Copies of this chain bind each other. A is one copy, B any other.
Amino acid sequence: MSNSGQKGTNFDQWLDSYAARANALSVSEVRALFAVVSRPEVVSLAGGMPYVHALPKDLIARSFETLMADRGDLAIQYSGGQGDLKLRDQVRELMALEGIKSSVEDIVMTTGSQHGLDLVSGLFLDKGDVVLAEGPSYVGAIGIFRHYEAHIEHVETDHDGIQPEALKETIARLKTQGRKIKFLYLVPNFANPSGVTLAEKRRAKIVEICRRNKILILEDNPYGLLYFDKKVPDALRSIDENVIYLGSFSKILAPGFRVGYVLAPPAIREKLVLAQESAILCPSMFSQSMISEYLSNSDWQGQIDTFRGVYRERRDAALEALAEHLPKLSTTHPDGGFYLWITLPDGIDSKAMLPLAVKELVAYTPGTAFYGDGTGHNKLRVCYSFPTPENIKVGIKRLATVINLQTELLETFSKKGATK
């Protein structure tokens, strides 16, 4: 049991003691960027932070006051492992907005939807199992699947989301190889990192293909309510009750509470609660209660409208700047959420380019972070949720400088190569 990342050093005396799964841990490319983000002169299009400044703090204060007046002692006590019953009932209403019918019994509150994904993955993934995912896919999910030593298989994804035909072919190929496919993980709405939405006509097909092949679907939907114009199609969970649905308050309220939720079929939900009790005893009652009060006493739908307006303006700023400064570049055109996805000319490596971008005072996330198979070199993610529209324009102008320089260099070199 060696630790390949640290071979050659004698500093860690526990090197031979780690579990196999500890060797799968590596510093994520997104994490390394946190330090860069904090420098005020850099326009960061990297991190995926919601713009919490658009949330009036008096709404939080009101939640706190009513909570402490009403049930302060309960809010700071241990609670049940499944989460607060009242909040679970409110979550039902939230999910109903995307066509989901559910029972409070089948909802589990989690420490952000990230922990929901971690716990569900822990229930299913043995070493070598296959997880199907969009290509590209959420970096935090890839990290979890790697941690459980699973193999991530990306399925061809286009502007309408994951392709049903490609899914069918991938499943058939893997089955022929005798691989054990445990689930399909996807972010159907304004996906992280691509910004694309799974087309309505594809949803039933995806569900049907997975049902036929007895493959569980994990539908991760933190952005669905943040549409800019048109409501998103109903959730995959609304088509099939066997879909595991992951939701979060991080983007429609605030991530600092760390509150998400999982809706799962009863047999799985039962195990999920046990896994949660093992991992953390219970989710924070204080955080849950604050959110429950917020949903009870504030115009939370109006607040989501406010967020939509903020992010729409920023998406527009990003697309306008791209059209102005990088007109030839291929990008996605998100109808909601935080992200857009840029494909650079072949031969430009977004990871190698990042230090040059930071020198130009702009940051982004390199494409390789969003693939479990080492691809994505000529892709990059732009997150427009946090900087102001003005800064987004400045950032994309800087990005254009770097990309245009790289493109020129590439063309010069390839011409030279051609004349040799």
Q: Enumerate chain A interface residues (CB-CB to B < 8 A).
A: 1, 6, 11-15, 17-22, 25-28, 31, 34, 47, 49-50, 52-53, 55, 57, 60-61, 64, 68, 72-81, 111-112, 114-115, 118, 122-126, 129, 140, 143-144, 147-148, 182, 214, 216, 242, 250, 254-258, 265-268, 271, 274-275, 277-287, 289-290
Contacts and interface: CB of A to CB of B under 8 A. Distances in A.
Contact of A77 (B125, B255, B274): B255
A55 B76 contact: yes
Question: Most B CB atoms within 10 A — which of A14, A47, A75, A267?
Answer: A14
Given A49-B78, A60-B68, A76-B52, A278 B147 contact: yes
Nearest to A140: B281
A34 B267 contact: no
Question: Most B CB atoms within 10 A — which of A52, A281, A290?
Answer: A281
B278 A144 contact: yes
Contacts of A75: 256
A19 B81 contact: no
Copies of this chain, tallied across the complex = 2
Contacts of A55: 76
A57 B72 contact: yes
Given A17-B214, A77-B254, A77-B255, 6 more contacts: A26-B274, A53-B73, A143-B278, A144-B278, A257-B284, A258-B283
A165 to B, nearest CB: 25
Given A72-B57, A281-B114, A19 B126 contact: yes
B20 A275 contact: no
A57 B68 contact: yes
Contacts of A147: 275, 278
Nearest to A264: B14
A63 to B, nearest CB: 10
A74 to B, nearest CB: 8
11 contacts: A1-B126, A12-B267, A14-B124, A19-B122, A22-B122, A31-B277, A34-B80, A55-B76, A60-B68, A144-B278, A258-B284
A346 to B, nearest CB: 32
Nearest to A25: B274
Contact of A52 (B73, B125, B258): B73
Given A111-B280, A126-B19, A14 B256 contact: no
A145 to B, nearest CB: 10
B256 A286 contact: yes
Question: Most B CB atoms within 10 A — which of A50, A52, A124, A279?
Answer: A279
Contacts of A182: 17
Query: Can you list the 10 inter-chain pairs with the closest CB atoms, starting with the nearest?
Result: A12-B267, A76-B254, A76-B256, A258-B284, A25-B274, A256-B285, A256-B286, A57-B72, A118-B279, A22-B123
A265 B285 CA distance: 31
Nearest to A21: B122
B280 A112 contact: yes
Given A111-B280, A286-B287, A267 B14 contact: yes
Contacts of A214: 13, 17
Given A57-B68, A68-B57, A76 B124 contact: no
B271 A18 contact: yes
